[in-house]
Structure 1
Amino acid sequence: MALHPSVAAVRRAVRRALADLEAPATVLVACSGGPDSVALLDATVVEGHRAGLRVAGATVDHGLQDGSAELAARVVAQMAEMGADETLSARVRVEAGGLGPEAAARRARYAVLGEMATHLGAAAVLLGHTRDDQAETVLLGLARGSGGRSLAGMRRAFDGYRRPLLDVPRLDTETACQVQGREVWSDPHNEDHGYTRVRVRRVVLPVLEDQLGPGVAATLARTADQLRVDMDLLDDLAEAAHQRLADPADGSLPVPDLAAEPDAVRRRVLRLAALAAGAPASELFHEHVLGLDALVTDWHGQRWVDLPGHCRGTRVQGRIRVTRSTGPGAGPDTPGN
């Protein structure tokens, strides 16, 4: 009997994502109980077992809604029923730490998934983001003026994580669950227009589809793929330049060599220097990097540039240094050419 096209689309995407893994490797699937992650786990059980892989399912309870513990228990039972070889569950404490609720929950979720993957010795962790999620990410990056890195969207793979469904529309994951009789959970946050992403999903994208014609989500996702190749190349060039130029002792960078680099590479090198000094990536914005860049390209005696994470950038004796601040109003060194 032929598979329903939506089921086939999800399984085909998962099969591609698992193609480089060898039996009896373990794959961990993050499953919230929503249609995207349920469809992902369903397909991974089928395709993974066919390839001799061990499939584990994991759900994370963020504790942000009433009844979240009961939901996590139901998801664990469902993952076992679907054929997962092992199921895991964890409750995390979401602490803002200067982040918004979504970002804080995401940070907590990735931290515990990483611990689970290490515990299992998993070769990969699969995430259920779809093509529609990618389109929303690109639109949000465009609206915020976040630059090429945000417009390049979510990476298909990073640090052991993989997103097999970035070419699969959300309609296919929802349909795949329906035709296979899988129960799914609808997160009430996905209907709360207080969240920017929800407004993009429920209002902005439908308007664009109505006014510009169908296929906008696919086009945005394709744009992300095209930009990702360019961003990856620039990031590789910047990492090589940072390793070549940074002083091993203090991480400082020589101004003349920085000035000789193309703008796109130089600014990425400065961003890497800020990250190495302890500036949090989620709070390090383009304006901060431009401030550092001005120490190289528009030097007129600036004392320092304040950066998130209590970091500070200075130009000292012809070198750019990013260090932790030593106290209110105290610069780490006396700036000079």
Structure 2
Amino acid sequence: MQSMNRKEPQLRRISSIESINKRKQEAPNIAPLGEISAEKIGRLFGQKTPERVIKTDPAPSKIKYKIHRMWLSPIIKRTICFGLPTLLMFMFGTYFLSNDNLRLKFNNVFEDAKLNIQARPEFQIELMKIEGASEALAMSIRKSLKLNFPVSSFKLDLLELKNKIQDMQEVKSASLFLRPGGLLEVDLIERIPLIIWRNGSSLEMIDSEGEISGILASRLDRLDLPLFAGDGAKEYILEALNIYKVAEPISERLRGLRRMGDRRWDMILDRNQIIQLPEFEPINALKHVLVLNSSQNILSRDIVTIDMRDTSRPVLRLSDAANEIIRTSELME
């Protein structure tokens, strides 16, 4: 057998465009694709084609250049930024003020919007809570404020309400707060009366600072408070309270203290008895009287006045009945 020299055909590498054209010839039923550009080939086979760079001219146009140059002028810049808005506002204000109908419509719209906002439920105050006051003072505050609930919070002048509450004699200080839920809270400090001062025909309750905390119609309304009288009595409250404290053994008979000549005190007891205390060291003089009463029971006798203005020489003044009895006994002798 003869050997046959067979040459294998050399394969030629086909480009992408030739491959697509060959496929188009072998498949005539496929619609013609037209000319295949390099960009389409790159999208089909994942090959990137260099992008075209369009160079722009950095130089501005003539109009843009002129506008920019005008904007750099201070006069034009100020005119546009300040002068033009001011002119427009002046023109609008002049037109608005000269047109009565426009102003009336604007006021009506503004008032309607204001009333609608004020009438919203979240701005309505429906309750008032008073803290730190007695029941009588709380009722007095509610009557003096005269608030008809519900009321809009915009119609409440808290400063005026606070001043009205603090003008009351029983109130030392007050604070008002608007709380969520339509609540008006009033926090106040009530004056605590310590004594009753008879000022002429009126009975005034005085606190520890010497301020009036209320007026009584009758002494029977506050029998728990000591009664003071006389000019300058409320300036010496602490001294008078100390006298009351020392006079605890005869507190059931003690009716009050009377300031005499703005210098000293007189103790008023029942049965119209009077203990005249000295200007200086009145407590020591009162203790001397209490010792005499415990030993000799002088306060239960027919004595009108015990004069202790001179502690070295106490003076007792008897009643008229006791003096008459003494005179009669002397005549009989």
Question: Which TM-score applies when normalising by structure 1?
Answer: 0.20
Larger helix percent: 1
Considering only CA atoms, is the larger Rg found in Structure 1 or Structure 2? Answer: 2
Q: So what's the TM-score if we normalise by structure 2?
A: 0.20
